[in-house]
Homo-oligomer: A and B are copies of this chain.
Amino acid sequence: MNNFVYHNPTKLVFGKGQIARLAELIPAEKHVMITFGGGSVKRNGVYEQVVNALAGRDFVEFWGIEPNPSVETLRKAIALGKEHKVDFLLAVGGGSVVDGTKLISAGLMYDGDAWDLVLKGSYNKTVPLATVLTMSATGSEMNNGAVISRYETKEKYAFYSNYPVFSILDPETLFSLPKRQIACGLADTFVHVLEQYMTTTGQSRLMDRWSEGILHTVVETAPQALSDKPDYDTMSEYMLSATLALNDMIRMGVSQDWATHMIGHELTALHGLTHGATLAIVINGTLRVLRDQKHAKLLQYGERIWGITGGSEEERIDRTIARTEEFFRSLGLSTHLAEEGIGEATIAEVERRFNAQGVHYGEAGNVDGAMARRILEACL
């Protein structure tokens, strides 16, 4: 096991009716800005619950943080927050709203342009932020990461700042989500786990088991989560799985990969494809191209998650990769670039960007431009 530090101070407030506790959770003297995405929270009743919970309190609203939040939009929120001397942020929405609000949180404490912070990669002076989650996928509600886009240059980078002080997770908020969003959330959750699990074996038996626990839960509950009448317990499992998949709890003492994510981010930046949808495609290429490097863990994963035991090791790995792709297809997602109209031009641009940045992603540091090309070609 590798040395590690684990420190996640976010308070998770989970369950039905918990949005009503907002007034008790946010200190009374705070000047609050509430951040939102589009109008879906007005249609599903969440906005009303939030406003009722904070009745009589002083707050300002900022609307319009888009999917793949852009620095262009967030600059406006930072200006509004500074104008109102905001010292507490409440993000109400999905991962994009939460991610965007993390940059606002840092931007309120920074005099220059917010894109500087993204290029720095992290910033530790922040205004406290909390969340009311309405879409489960990114885990941003219980981690310190964010992904921020810059539309004018089609760039998209990770940014690290603060953990939310609390996050309210009411599974009932998920009932009104379109099925495609749930499918992308399940795919995102599954691949978050694989990025922390599909690495060198034998680093931690316990972390392997916890990762596999989330994978089992997602596989077992996905059909019901995507049915016409998902029940509360299913949505609870989905919501909790998404949070625990990326809140540092399954990465204690083990190495990580994240190459699939880095390639996926480029597809989102270039085509606007939803994050989870990019992962459901790219992960298959990653597993095919890096199957030798991930040999032992692929065998363990195949046996424990999919019950694949017979045949030679290479046959078992073939079946394991095929079974993984089948799972993403069962969610109704594409698993080939061609299905999304993506081809050689994009592959060339991703290769060019990776080479220009001189990056070497992945557990083994071997995912450079040429390897990204091979991975993308393997999921054409």
Contacts and interface: CB of A to CB of B under 8 A. Distances in A.
A273 interface: no
A204 interface: yes
Interface stretch (A3-11, A66-74, A100-108, A360-368): A3-11
B12 A6 contact: yes
A3 B9 CA distance: 19
22 contacts: A1-B233, A1-B240, A3-B15, A6-B12, A6-B14, A7-B9, A7-B10, A8-B8, A9-B9, A14-B253, A202-B233, A204-B237, A205-B217, A205-B221, A206-B217, A206-B237, A206-B240, A206-B241, A206-B244, A209-B213, A209-B216, A213-B213
A238 B307 CA distance: 27
Interface string A221-233: 1000000000011
A171 B10 CA distance: 27
Ranked 7 nearest A-B pairs via Cβ: A3-B15, A209-B213, A1-B236, A7-B11, A6-B12, A206-B217, A9-B9
Interface of A: 1-18, 166, 171, 202, 204-206, 209-210, 212-214, 216-217, 220-221, 232-233, 236-237, 240-241, 244, 249, 252-253
Contact of A5 (B2, B12, B205, B220): B12
A106 to B, nearest CB: 21
Copies in the complex: 2
A9 B9 CA distance: 4
B217 A213 contact: no
Contacts of A202: 233
Nearest to A171: B1
Contacts of A252: 12, 14, 240
A214 B5 CA distance: 20
A212 B209 contact: yes
A12 B7 contact: yes
A111 B7 CA distance: 33
A303 to B, nearest CB: 14
Contacts of A16: 3
A244 B1 CA distance: 15
A247 to B, nearest CB: 10
